[in-house]
Amino acid sequence: MKRLEPRLHEEVRESIKSEIETGRLDEVRGTGGWIKGRAGSPTRNIGKSGGFRFIYLLFRYQQGIYLQTVYDHRKKMDLTAEEKQA
């Protein structure tokens, strides 16, 4: 089992908060409303553009967030068609 990078949870949380507050949500086409976010990698000293990606669903009326996945941008550029369909 891989260990998560220290402070990654905090980075993802802060990124989601910022995206919601600014209204800059990057919805993934063909997924029915899932959103792709970006988080930096403090351990590797990398910003959001080269750090991690995460996919989440925002429940605006219930004020909830469902985090689906987090992946390293260096190892995977985007979701596959099968992942979007799922």
Q: What is the pLDDT of residue 79?
A: 72
Q: Is 3 domain-assigned?
A: no
Q: Is 24 domain-assigned?
A: yes
Q: Compute mean pLDDT per 10 residues along the chain, 86 residues long, and list them.
A: 70 88 89 89 84 87 82 74 74
Q: Is 79 domain-assigned?
A: no
Q: What is the pLDDT of residue 1?
A: 45
Q: Is 50 domain-assigned?
A: yes
The total domain count for the chain is: 1
Q: Is 82 domain-assigned?
A: no
Q: Is 78 domain-assigned?
A: no
Q: Checking phi first, is residue 79 left (phi over 0); if not, alpha (psi -120 to 50) or beta?
A: beta
Q: Is 2 domain-assigned?
A: no
Domain limits at 67?
A: 8-73
CA 55 to CA 34: how far, in whole Å?
7
CA 28 to CA 32: how far, in whole Å?
8
